[in-house]
Amino acid sequence: MKVNITETVLRDANQSLIATRMPFSDFEGILEKIDDAGYHSIECWGGATFDSCLRYLNEDPWERLRKIKSKIKKTKLQMLLRGQNIIAYKHYPDDVVRKFVEHAIQNGIDIIRIFDALNDFRNIEVAVEQTLKSGGHAQGAICYTISPIHNLENYIKLGKQLEGMGVDSICIKDMSGIMGPQEAYDLIKALKETINKPIVLHTHSTTGLGPITYFKAVEAGCDVIDCAISAFSGGTSQPATESLHFALKQSGYETGLDEVILKEINDFFKPVKDKFIQSGVLDPYVLGSETDALVYQVPGGMLSNLISQLKQSNSLDKLAEVLQEIPRVRKDLGYPPLVTPMSQIVGAQATTNVLLGERYQSISTEVKSYFRGEYGKAPGEVNAELVKKVLGDEEPMTHRFADTLEPEFEKAKKEIGSMAKNDEDVLSYIIFPPIAEKFFKYREESAALKVNYTITKV
C-alpha cells in the first residue's frame, strides 16, 4: 500500500522552529537532492514565508519560488494559502485573491492548500475556484480543533462541503498537534467512508502525539502525511520524515522515498540547524514535547510567539496565566480554531487580559472586527454579553466580508507605478505595503551598487 509523504522543511518546519528565518542561500544547495528523494510534494511557499522574505530576509518571495522551481522540476511544489486572507491577516477583495493564485501557479506552485481559520468556506471558495481554473491542484483544508462543538459529524459535514466545492483533495489541518491516534483513526476512517477524495493529514509534534497519530491515520487509509526531515523535525515542527518512512516500511507500506538521499538531505540541514541554535533563533524549548498543549491547544508558532512577546515585556513569568486565559477567551469567541490569524487574536487578547489584571478592560480592534463578523461566521455561540459590550446596538454582518470590498489590483498598480517591476510586485505591495516598498528600494539600491561595482572593476 502506498502512503505519500510531503516534506515541510522549507515552509512549516522553517516557520514553526525558526520563525521562517531560513534564507534561500541556506537551502539552495540541497534542492536537487530533495527533488530526487521521491516525495509526494514539497511544501515550500505561502504561510509566513512571503512576509519573512520581504520583512527580514531582503528576498523577493516570487523570485524565491522561481528559483526553487528551477531546481525542483519533478516533485510537486506546494503552498499554504489562508483563503481570502491570502498570506496575511486581513481579507482581500476577490480580484487580488484571483491574481495571487494565478501568479502563484504561473511561478511554479502545483498544489495549493487552502484554509479559513474559522472553517467558514465562503472564505475559500474564490481561491479554490481560481486554483482549479488556473490548472492547479486545489486542496481544501479543515482546521482541526477540539471543542464541545467540534465532533465527527461536524467534520464530515465540512468534508462534504469541500467535496461539493470540487476540491482535488482534503486536508485535516491539526496545527496544534492535539489530535490523538484514536481520534485520527476514527476521523480518517469516517472521511474515507463518506468522501471520495484523497485525504491528507497535517499535524505537529508539539504534544509528542504526532508520529503515533500519523501511523493510526495511515492504518485508517490516510493518503498523504506531512513530515519534516529529522534535523528540522519534532517539537512544534512535524514528525520526522525518516522515522515515519522507517516505521511505515516495516509495516508493509510503500512511501517511495529513497533512504540514502534522505540521509544526505538530513546531513545537509544539520549544520543549518546548529547555526540557528547558536544564534539563538532556534530556542531548544520548542523542540521538546509540550503536553500542556493538550489542555491549552496552543499551536507551535503561537507558543513561540507568546514566549518572545512576554520576554520583550519582561513578563515571561505570566506565561502560565496567559496559557490558562487562552481557552476562556476562545470560549467567549465561540471556539474558533487556534490558527492564524485567530491564534494571534486570541493570544493577544488573552495576554492583554492577564497583563492588565482585568478581563476585557481593553478589547483589541481585531476582537471587535471578529464580533462584527468581518472574519466570517464564528463556529459556535459567542459570549452575548461581551458582544453587547463591544458592538452596542450594531448588528453583526451575515454576508461574506469580501463582498464589501472594492477591486484593488488595478488601483494599486497605478499607485505603486514604476517601483513595481511586474504584477507579482504589485501583489507584494498590496499585501505588505510599507514592507514591500522598503524592499523595492533596497532592491533598486543594491542593483545600482552592483552596476557601480561592475563599472569600477572594468
Instruction: List residues binding Co ion (CB under 5 A).
Output: 12, 175
CB of 11 or CB of 189, closer to Co ion: 11
Query: In whole angstroms, how close is the CB of 14 to Co ion at the nearest point?
Result: 11
Closer CB to Co ion, 128 or 175, in the complex: 175
Judged by beta carbon, residue 237 or residue 353, the one nearer Co ion is 237
Residue sitting closest to Co ion (CB): 12
Q: How far is the CB of 399 from Co ion (least distance, A)?
A: 30
Q: How far apart are CB 43 and Co ion at their closest, in Å?
A: 9
Q: How far is the CB of 204 from Co ion (least distance, A)?
A: 6
> What minimum distance in Å lies between the beta carbon of 369 and Co ion?
24
Identify which of residues 175 and 303 has a Cβ nearer to Co ion in the complex: 175
When the beta carbons of 301 and 373 are compared against Co ion, the nearer one is 301
C-beta of 12 vs 183, nearer to Co ion: 12
For the bound state, the minimum distance from the C-beta of residue 326 to Co ion, rounded and expressed in Å, comes to 18
Q: Quick one: cell of 305? A: 510567539
SS3 for 11-68 is HHHHHHHHCCCCCHHHHHHHHHHHHHCCCCEEEEEECCHHHHHHHCCCCCHHHHHHHH
Complex with Co ion: residue 175 or 222, whichever CB lies closer: 175
Least gap, CB of 12 to Co ion (angstroms): 4
- b/e burial code for range 134-161 (CB count within 10 A of at least 16 → b): bebbbbbbbbbbbbeebeeeebbebbee
